[in-house]
Structure 1
């Protein structure tokens, strides 16, 4: 009996262990988020591939703490924690709920408002976070002994734009602040417990367009860091706390790493810098780099690369656990995952956790933009996929429930109550519809690919596989009329009329692979016109509007900057290169390299001065014949200062058709005989004039050329892409 009991106990323990392992493995299978830690002692910037703007960072003991902006999201003011500045996790929010102005009453929205540009500090066992509230109530200083616990706040009774808490070495606290339109930074002393101000403020720095202050004291010198928005991070110094801060130097330009940031000390006495960089639709991401002291200045970057925040470094602190911010949620606990924030304040009577799902009752709203109770979390790059499983059996006829992408632009894929159908929208315009939906259990998925800047929308049920619905949305970022945040996933359920319906969300899962193993992008034909702004990754450049070409171009290019285009298909061989560029300086060179920044140099194309950055000219050069698929590195070289702007480029081949494109048998007409010749080629037969069959100028003859020939013969098209 005893032996049997022991065997049963042993089997029970083994079963429990296996069950736990299965649960852990099942969670691991969908919990991937971007991972900057490469596992070999190095990391890749950004340290979080998502919108963590206006960073403020401190170290307390063995932990680093990061506070960043959250605007109209509720709860607000997210706090993250790390042991090495690379591996971060979300640990709390300072603000449980914004003021009632953010309730979306009568459809009133306050996007781009809320709270932003916080500053975090620590004194005598208490954490402090200051932020200026954009609801008319002025600045608040939140405080807590535990960053993961409840925060209380002091109201300072006045507005202090982009405020920064500084604790001097004698324990006296101060507040530095100022907006870019003021062209100055001021400072005021705080009470010892930071509950209010003491005396009046004084101007400590006069400098054009500065904001986003961070103040640090190192070896008796005060260093004041300020952003010049979208341009640079500057530093001013003084031996006196109140200034004058007469000396100012530029630490980093926006294209070389970003703006708005500061420095933080490590346990070994060295310093690292942090700042955010504007990166389009994903938002403004936090990056870090070592600090090199030069003539008493904390220069961003390592020796030989000062002023540059590179993509890869050795980690500042080694041998710490790999962590990523929380993302997936099974909704089977008593609270929402800490990663979730509501779009504006939620109506707490309209949502609940049932123990196995998130129940969202339909809120009354005219559209997604004005829909209360949309539950959001940050979109992650470089590629991420958010998926939900829902039960729509209790939705009412007017309800619209599903998964959205909140930003500018915005879109969603959702099911309607009755008649039950699935719709995909962009900016509230329906782009795709599926009717005759009978299943109560549905799955919705949005893929955000920040490499291509495209978001695609999918659906399925338990009887069929994933199907794309509608067209891909080109993701963007608009600080003035958008959310002032990167694109976000949003679980939503709303109705244009009052409704008692609800949707149960079984789970949300972030399915992207870890950063280093992100899926390869689709091949790009080297012979098509490649827009410069459609890079896979870049260093040192900036994307800007180009009204002349109804699009965008790459600008602010300096010596050593580069663009990377993954999986470029050179087909049977490229021998030439063409580009559209402009330069208000003396110009520079475009180096073309394969597979790495120092890879095989296949050609160098000079770009002359054209008299203006948007005064375009087409340049060309020969390249050593290259075939097959490669990663293309477009590297810029020249003298100091800005070199050029780049709009687009493409490669050319020697096998230029001598006859009429499409006339494969050279009989003077394009007809069904030419279609048969392409078909034979695809089936393995050889044809004489393959160059005349390359109708899209891709460098290869394939099914696309066959389809183009059919369209031409049917009168759908009158010219071939290769003729343009």
Structure 2
């Protein structure tokens, strides 16, 4: 009996995914903006069940810069190495590479400096010539809705020309915000897969040409139609070892971020790809490769150490003195910083699950400070404990502080629509506290579940086991 999967296959904020196959293994990466570490590497044997195996970028900005940093990467395997190209819209296009996707990865290398250079994708052609296509961010460059192609040195160290405008979507009726290009070659034909129309209400187009520099003809190959999958947006085309074709793309779900769908893909008699159910996203389909082991990216963490789980990231570059994992506990120093948790690099976070869930952790606060569990995006709210002159109290929004013992279980229930109800055990079991909070998306990202500790540097927060129970 053939097993089936249901979309989304990655039901959390794995923004701007790109995917490749190497042998029988599939690998995926995604945007991370200013989160550190960045560029997660996910592994799968069937395109449905995924695990996090590492990160390709280990540092970023020292301060929190919403919407900046690592945008829309492309992942490729060439000449025995894995390559990731990404754009930082305030700096330029970088690449990192590694012999093993688990690392170590090289330090980011600037391929093309400049403002507003985004969504790069390389292609090494059959004759050894390399190319690089990218889009433009109007916020930095003053232009958008166009794709530029460069000849690139085969070692991916630099572009070799000023670039050629290969697609000007201002000339295509109805097109707006063409971006996220992925460049491929199949049977002598060059293909650019690129979405347009914006992440919430757009569509996926495909362009083809006999020459890499065009002229390109276009066709819309995936759009919402009569489904609930709004704006099926950029992703990657991948095949299986048995020769079947698939397309992974994201759907913007607001506070849940950009969740990832998997579409079957075939080739029509006229040579164009057909995605999903005749151009509309499917809710379910047969699993691409049978025999995969059920798995999903980690969420819960028993803090067994010695390092943080791969699901965690900081809001900007961390200081090693901020944290320690040992003996099944996470210790966060109560470091100084902004009162606004959205501006603190020292908030340790992970993606908000796309399904309803309950999150709990046990917290002990030693010394002076405040610590707790936060849900953050454009807005934020938290439940936690604070040391006052009168002792330790539970704090949550505008509720009256409640005296508590040294160790407190805190948590949150995230319901439909990402409505958050905070929880705490003040002596009578886990109960609802404070006012329900509507989680909100951040700048190009979904809401984040986070742990924090703040103070004058003398105190520390001790978290025991972080548990995420997802309802399905």
Normalising by structure 1, report the TM-score: 0.60
Tell me, yes or no, if structure 1 residue 412 matches structure 2 residue 382.
yes
User: Per the alignment, in what secondary structure is the counterpart of residue 464 of structure 1?
Assistant: coil
Q: Is the Cα–Cα contact under 8 Å of residues 89 and 118 in structure 2 kept in the other structure? A: no
1:116 corresponds in structure 2 to 71
CA offsets 1:372-415 (integer angstroms, 9 cap, x no match): 311111111211222111211x130xx22010112133111010
Distance (whole Å) between structure 2 residues aligned to residue 326 and residue 111 of structure 1: 24
State the structure with more CA Rg: 1
Larger CA deviation: 126-135 vs 281-290:
126-135
Q: Is the Cα–Cα contact under 8 Å of residues 58 and 65 in structure 1 kept in the other structure? A: yes
Judged with a 3 Å threshold, the aligned counterparts in structure 2 of structure 1 residues 411 and 171 are, in CA distance, closer, same or farther, namely: farther
1:489 corresponds in structure 2 to 449
Distance (whole Å) between structure 2 residues aligned to residue 453 and residue 103 of structure 1: 30
Distance (whole Å) between structure 2 residues aligned to residue 203 and residue 436 of structure 1: 65
2:174 corresponds in structure 1 to none
* Higher RCO (C-alpha under 8 Å, 6+ residues apart): 2
2:282 corresponds in structure 1 to 310
Q: What is the number of residues matched between the two proteins? A: 447
Q: Is the Cα–Cα contact under 8 Å of residues 329 and 508 in structure 1 kept in the other structure? A: yes
**Cα shift at 1:292:** 2.5
Tell me, yes or no, if structure 1 residue 386 matches structure 2 residue 351.
no
2:273 corresponds in structure 1 to 298
Unaligned runs of 5+ in 1: 1-38, 425-429, 519-724
2:343 corresponds in structure 1 to 370
Distance (whole Å) between structure 2 residues aligned to residue 387 and residue 60 of structure 1: 38
CA offsets 1:94-131 (integer angstroms, 9 cap, x no match): 11111xxx323xxxx31111111011111111000011
Tell me, yes or no, if structure 1 residue 146 matches structure 2 residue 122.
no
Distance (whole Å) between structure 2 residues aligned to residue 265 and residue 239 of structure 1: 22
Q: Is the Cα–Cα contact under 8 Å of residues 121 and 167 in structure 1 kept in the other structure? A: no
Q: How does 1:31-430 map to 2 (within 5 A)?
A: 41-98=3-60, 102-104=61-63, 109-136=64-91, 138-152=92-106, 153-159=108-114, 160-179=117-136, 181-208=143-170, 209-228=177-196, 229-230=198-199, 231-245=202-216, 247-254=217-224, 256=227, 257=229, 258-294=232-268, 295-301=270-276, 305-364=277-336, 365-392=338-365, 394-396=366-368, 399-418=369-388, 419=390, 420-424=392-396, 430=397
Distance (whole Å) between structure 2 residues aligned to residue 385 and residue 300 of structure 1: 35
Tell me, yes or no, if structure 1 residue 445 matches structure 2 residue 420.
no
Q: Is the Cα–Cα contact under 8 Å of residues 234 and 251 in structure 1 kept in the other structure? A: yes
Q: Is the Cα–Cα contact under 8 Å of residues 224 and 280 in structure 2 kept in the other structure? A: no
2:140 corresponds in structure 1 to none
Q: Is the Cα–Cα contact under 8 Å of residues 179 and 211 in structure 1 kept in the other structure? A: yes
Q: Is the Cα–Cα contact under 8 Å of residues 191 and 198 in structure 1 kept in the other structure? A: yes
Distance (whole Å) between structure 2 residues aligned to residue 443 and residue 62 of structure 1: 43
Distance (whole Å) between structure 1 residues aligned to residue 439 and residue 279 of structure 2: 30
Q: Is the Cα–Cα contact under 8 Å of residues 433 and 469 in structure 1 kept in the other structure? A: no
Distance (whole Å) between structure 2 residues aligned to residue 351 and residue 44 of structure 1: 38
User: Per the alignment, in what secondary structure is the counterpart of residue 132 of structure 1?
Assistant: strand
**Cα shift at 1:157:** 4.2
**Cα shift at 1:172:** 3.2
Unaligned runs of 5+ in 2: 138-142, 171-176
Q: Is the Cα–Cα contact under 8 Å of residues 152 and 160 in structure 2 kept in the other structure? A: yes
CA offsets 1:48-88 (integer angstroms, 9 cap, x no match): 11001111111111111111011111001111111111001
Judged with a 3 Å threshold, the aligned counterparts in structure 2 of structure 1 residues 357 and 135 are, in CA distance, closer, same or farther, namely: farther
Greater fraction helix = 1
User: Per the alignment, in what secondary structure is the counterpart of residue 160 of structure 2?
Assistant: strand
Q: Is the Cα–Cα contact under 8 Å of residues 154 and 196 in structure 1 kept in the other structure? A: no
**Cα shift at 1:505:** 1.2
Q: Is the Cα–Cα contact under 8 Å of residues 254 and 277 in structure 1 kept in the other structure? A: no
Q: Is the Cα–Cα contact under 8 Å of residues 123 and 171 in structure 1 kept in the other structure? A: no
Q: Is the Cα–Cα contact under 8 Å of residues 164 and 176 in structure 1 kept in the other structure? A: yes
**Cα shift at 1:263:** 1.5
**Cα shift at 1:40:** 6.3
